[in-house]
Structure 1
Amino acid sequence: MQKLSPLIEQRADPYIVRHSDGYYYFTASVPQYDRIELRRASTIEGLRDAPTVDVWHKPDTGAYSELIWAPELHYNQGAWYVYFAAAPSREIKYKLFQHRMYAIRNKSANPLEGEWEFMGQVDSGIDTFCLDATTFTHKGKLYYLWAQKDNAIEGNSNLYIAEMETPWQIKGKPVMLTKPEFDWEIRGFWVNEGPSVLQRNGKVFISYSASATDENYAMGLLWADADADLLDPAAWTKSQQPVLQTCFEHGIYGPGHNSFTVDADDNVLLVYHARTYTEIVGDPLWNPDRHTFVKPLRWDAQGMPVFGRPSVIE
């Protein structure tokens, strides 16, 4: 049994993509929450010490000038996009946690080079707290998937899906896929957030994270048949139990906010963050010690993903 060590320390909400150029690209929330940082390497392991490039900095004031959270890098329709959440400065809104979703674009072949263009807010049509956007293409259609609060539903955030008109504009009305409802989803906070999409074995899988971002943080799973209408909530099945959670035995706590990538042989790798201790001093929001981990994803005989434990390769 091989125990896991962090791939990259102090990087939360990690996102790794292997592009058609053969390079791996990495982005994540930085502890200062003040910028978007990218790095690339020819191997997963190479990302550990790869040079970082700051491609966008938050403005000092305004609607998207605080708490830059959970950037994701996607190549959509011939250009690179980073989707991220940001909050307005307190001079605009008294409450700090009023995040909305935004996008920037780069038409260069290498997203660490060239110019990034601010595309503005990705407006879901619901003017409430929202974050953790991801995109995926299925059967020629581009979809947007994210977490958002509904004031009529108890809790902090639910998961929504919509088709996209452009890589920075939503088409049609958002559809809610899941809300916090099980005991392991409502510890500390009622949260469904951090969705990530995996398409394998005739199914579309959505992993997500739930509960407070301490040792209670855990991951859940939705899945639908690849031929189903992905905008129909009835097409999706939800696991009643978490698929990845704290491993007290080996001291890996609060695994979550994952992404999926592949190795050189197209085997799926699970990317996630976790802490290595539970005694957090002060506000957990400003604790930098959520680290990026990577491990192989396994599969059972029915073609369902097996996440195992966050602390070991198994």
Structure 2
Amino acid sequence: MPANRTFTNPLVEQRADPWVYKHTDGWYYFTASVPEYDRIEVRGSRTLEGLTEAQPVVAWRKYASGSLSANIWAPEIHYIAGKWYIYFAAAHTTETNEGLFDHRMYVLENASVSPLEGDWVEKGQVKTAWESFALDATTFQHKGALYYVWAQKDPGIKGNSNLYISEMSNPWTLRGKQTMISTPEHPWEIIGFKVNEGAAVLKRNGRIFISFSASATDHNYCMGLLEADEDGDLLDAASWTKHPEPVFHTTEENGQYGPGHNSFTVDEEGRDVIVYHARNYKEITGDPLYDPNRHTRVQQFRWNEDGTPDFEVPVKDNRR
């Protein structure tokens, strides 16, 4: 087991919903929500901590009106079958609607060797069973199949968003049934809003884990965990078990508030790392969505004897 590592945090300031992908070339590629919610940026580095100073490249900008014109949220970068893909959510605006909570999910594709180069092509909206609020898509491959996990509002269920899974016929098209695998039900999932969102997938010890975030985006925001046997039917809701308590949450003694919307990667030595955002203060003026100081943070995590991940608590800021 490699020794513990202490990272310099925050890794990237004013970047929420962070996603870090380590490619086969050894480079780390990073994208996240920008405070203006108006564009998608990608940056790359040979090291995790190099992402702090890496220059961002603008991959795509929002439209002036109509679809894809507001609140560009939570981009994720993936490499699938030799091409790069960015999954993101965008809202539709009109003269009377500013697009808040009117999101749909979209995909960009880039055939270049590096996602910092070439052209990002719009592949369109990922269509689901309903035309309703949808966001925070992620993908993973398992036993030859490509899966899509996302958050969406079911018009028939009270609350803001649940988590769903489906297979994909290609990186921008769902096929077959769409299964709800989690809905906000515990007290820690329904503070301010009834929310399950921001899924990230972790495979280890014969199981597939899906972390997710819950409650309002202030200090109540926290992370939960689902798990399924790797040999189970991932499209069967009964295959998934939700841990009854949050696995990562506000830690006042370390000055970290509302940690969540995470991704997973490994450092240069192969140590498991969780990437997440949090604020370093509790009191927020106005709507938390428009407070820009959710900073990207990284820290090593371990595994419990029962095979589950142990994220411990958000660490203190140590950047001077």
Give the TM-score category using the shorter length.
over 0.9
TM-superposed CA distance for 1:8, in Å, is 0.6
Is 1:175 aligned with 2:179?
yes
- Contact 1:11 1:30 survives alignment (8 Å): yes
SS in 1 for 2:254: coil
Is 1:41 aligned with 2:45?
yes
- Residue of structure 2 aligned with 1:216, choices 220, 223, 226: 220
**Distance in 2 between residues matched to 1:21 and 1:89, nearest whole Å:** 40
- Residue of structure 2 aligned with 1:21, choices 16, 25, 41: 25
- Residue of structure 2 aligned with 1:139, choices 132, 135, 143: 143
**Distance in 2 between residues matched to 1:250 and 1:103, nearest whole Å:** 37
Is 1:187 aligned with 2:191?
yes
Map of 1:46-85 to 2, 5 A cutoff? 46-85=50-89
Q: Which stretch of the first structure deviates more once superposed, 86-95 or 166-175?
A: 86-95
- Contact 1:162 1:170 survives alignment (8 Å): yes
What do residues 165-194 of structure 1 show as CA deviations (whole Å, max 9, x unaligned)? Answer: 100101112100000000000001100000
**Distance in 2 between residues matched to 1:154 and 1:114, nearest whole Å:** 43
Identity among equivalent pairs (%):
58
Map of 1:97-112 to 2, 5 A cutoff? 97-112=101-116
TM-superposed CA distance for 1:77, in Å, is 1.5
- Contact 2:12 2:297 survives alignment (8 Å): yes
TM-superposed CA distance for 1:4, in Å, is 6.5
Q: Which residue of structure 2 aligns with residue 254 of structure 1?
A: 258
TM-superposed CA distance for 1:92, in Å, is 7.6
TM-superposed CA distance for 1:265, in Å, is 3.0
- Contact 1:3 1:311 survives alignment (8 Å): no
TM-superposed CA distance for 1:26, in Å, is 0.2
- Contact 2:215 2:221 survives alignment (8 Å): yes
Amino acid at match of 1:197: V
Q: Which stretch of the first structure deviates more once superposed, 1-10 or 296-305?
A: 1-10
**Distance in 1 between residues matched to 2:50 and 2:60, nearest whole Å:** 23
**Distance in 2 between residues matched to 1:253 and 1:281, nearest whole Å:** 15
What do residues 258-285 of structure 1 show as CA deviations (whole Å, max 9, x unaligned)? Answer: 0001112332100000000122122211
Q: Which residue of structure 1 aligns with residue 12 of structure 2?
A: 8
Map of 1:208-287 to 2, 5 A cutoff? 208-287=212-291
Map of 1:140-155 to 2, 5 A cutoff? 140-155=144-159
- Residue of structure 2 aligned with 1:32, choices 6, 18, 36: 36
Is 1:86 aligned with 2:85?
no
TM-superposed CA distance for 1:3, in Å, is 9.1
Is 1:306 aligned with 2:276?
no
Amino acid at match of 1:153: I
TM-superposed CA distance for 1:311, in Å, is 2.0
What do residues 13-70 of structure 1 show as CA deviations (whole Å, max 9, x unaligned)? Answer: 0000100011000000000000000000000000000011001001101211100000
CA, structure 1 residues 51+217, in 2 after alignment: closer, same or farther (shift >3 Å)?
Answer: same
SS in 1 for 2:68: coil
Amino acid at match of 1:139: K
Is 1:125 aligned with 2:136?
no
Amino acid at match of 2:202: L
Is 1:204 aligned with 2:234?
no
Unaligned runs of 5+ in 2: none
Q: Which residue of structure 2 aligns with residue 289 of structure 1?
A: 293
Amino acid at match of 2:237: P
TM-superposed CA distance for 1:237, in Å, is 1.0
Unaligned runs of 5+ in 1: none
TM-superposed CA distance for 1:224, in Å, is 0.6
Give the TM-score taking structure 2 as reference length. Answer: 0.95
**Distance in 2 between residues matched to 1:238 and 1:286, nearest whole Å:** 30
TM-superposed CA distance for 1:89, in Å, is 1.1
- Contact 1:3 1:312 survives alignment (8 Å): no
- Contact 2:249 2:259 survives alignment (8 Å): yes
Number of positions where the alignment pairs a residue of Structure 1 with one of Structure 2: 313
Q: Which stretch of the first structure deviates more once superposed, 257-266 or 204-213?
A: 257-266
Amino acid at match of 1:117: V
SS in 2 for 1:103: strand
**Distance in 2 between residues matched to 1:284 and 1:51, nearest whole Å:** 27
- Contact 1:63 1:92 survives alignment (8 Å): no
- Contact 1:253 1:275 survives alignment (8 Å): yes
Amino acid at match of 1:247: T
**Distance in 1 between residues matched to 2:29 and 2:65, nearest whole Å:** 29
SS in 1 for 2:289: helix
